A and B are shown apart, each in its own frame.
Chain A
């Protein structure tokens, strides 16, 4: 089952690398990756889908949320 993680992050050099590194370091495979910018606040929204299990996803979301430039990280509820 695919899970979707959505990260709002300040649009600065290196931040996407930080997010992707963090997933790679925990051997989380990325199925799809989308980055879009919402220009007024200079915030990027990074959307990742992954086949990681629920527990790994939960941990990764918390780690992402902890990053200084990350405004919020959450798992999209699958219905």
Chain B
């Protein structure tokens, strides 16, 4: 070897380089990712090639559609509390992912989504499979990047994971041109985080917390209204202690299900449009609402001008822009739900004088007796509510259950006694049909030993049913319970109630035979059409190793009650 060649070799050894694709994969491992959900294509070929060298370190799950991949990552993230990772190609790969990204944005799920982009010199030329991905996803990501140089990759990925998982979590997208993944760089390690404009609150302002606690000790008709923020902050333990020590009733939102055990004596069940009568009456009559990790969604408040007219409002949220956004808070506390509840607990006496709440609880119990959740049982038709109760029995209330959006979602929220956070995985804010099955696959891949059930309607199931192939291919034990009423049930219910029964485009009859569909994918298919078969079919389906689809034919025109009609206040519930 010549002296010059030796020198050159020394220099290369001194500054090792990697391709952009190598940097990306190593960075993902460094950030703690073990699983990617994705779909390949031209712009991500270098990345997929690099994945062949990552066996045992990064597992790639091939979905059958990019929307499915993102929902899987979200199911994985929601079940574990860790950031889900997605890899898709440019153009249609990115646009197909948008529904999933928007869903994660609305429900504050931490995701890092990597999209391929056309090579740098082709950007802006309407190249094959080119789309302005950062432009399209700007309004539905917490942050997004177009990486113009491979030397930025390690730092951008480090930043992306930090942003996705901290503060109010959310999806972060990284768009990487194909040639950036091929080019070599010596910037293998990330630079230290430099985010001068980003500093999420942790502890709340102590003076505000003191004022909140003073209100809590004075209140005669208090209620804790809790949501997804409690789940994200892993603050269920603190919530439990707080509720127990104060003796306050607790009502969770859809996203807060499981953050407080449904069967706890202090739980009133979910509030809002299809919430319990007691929860809605209690929040309407309260003199103090302690709102933690919630955003006063329109499905929760009903008509705003009639919402909780007598209540002082304490609002705790990690997202400052949520405070007083919808309902003006008397005490607004920007902070992490767990940290703020700990601050509250430090100021509270160990036991509160319970006599102060005696009348309030008498009133609440009267509401509970007056209108408990109920439905008319049937001897010859499977009532969807009964299906939810039987599913709870068959899984002993311990399954992770995912849903789509609609009637089945509301009935499950009403009748499945979620006891732990991260047990209910649902599409709340965006209300995405087709979320349930892929989300269940993601949760099942995170927890192979747990019972995971996708509880879906016959409409939503058909939007992502192709992911049965993914569930089977990876040998998961995912179970699908299709609440099949041959209708787009919630839309039908609204057409019945508010459009004089003129059904328009809601009939799904003539759809595929779900048992045969399951079998076509190599899964087991079962069907129940009569109440006498239900228990047995559920037991058999849930007990089948591998993937099973249970097609449960339920009463076709059953409606979800109670219901707060659109535009009405929470007191104006229609009971049935």
Contact = CB atoms under 8 A, between A and B. Distances in A.
Contacts of B195: 68
Interface in A48-66: 59, 62-63, 65-66
A13 interface: yes
A17 B320 CA distance: 22
A70 B321 CA distance: 14
A72 B197 CA distance: 7
Contacts of B320: 62, 65-66
Nearest to A12: B145
B198 interface: yes
A14 interface: yes
Given A9-B197, A68-B163, A68-B198, A14 B146 contact: yes
Interface stretch (B13-21, B80-88, B135-143): B135-143
A19 to B, nearest CB: 10
Interface in B452-486: none
The bracket for how many chain B residues form the interface is 10 to 19
B138 A67 contact: no
Nearest to B168: A66
A68 B142 contact: yes
A79 B134 CA distance: 39
Contacts of B143: 68
Interface residues of A, number: 20
Nearest to A67: B197
A14 B320 CA distance: 23
Interface in B162-200: 163, 195-198
B163 A13 contact: no
B197 A17 contact: no
B259 to A, nearest CB: 24
Given A59-B321, A62-B320, A14 B138 contact: yes
Contact of B139 (A21, A62, A70, A71): A21
B197 A18 contact: no
Interface string B308-341: 0000000000011101010000000000000000
A10 interface: yes
B197 A59 contact: no
A71 B196 contact: yes
B197 A69 contact: yes
B329 to A, nearest CB: 13
Given A10-B196, A65-B321, A68-B198, 11 more contacts: A9-B197, A10-B197, A14-B134, A17-B138, A62-B325, A63-B321, A67-B197, A68-B163, A68-B195, A69-B197, A71-B196
Interface of B: 134-135, 138-139, 142-143, 146, 163, 195-198, 319-321, 323, 325
Q: Please give me the 8 A-B residue pairs with the lowest Cβ-Cβ distance, nearest first.
A: A62-B321, A71-B197, A68-B143, A68-B198, A63-B321, A66-B321, A70-B197, A69-B197
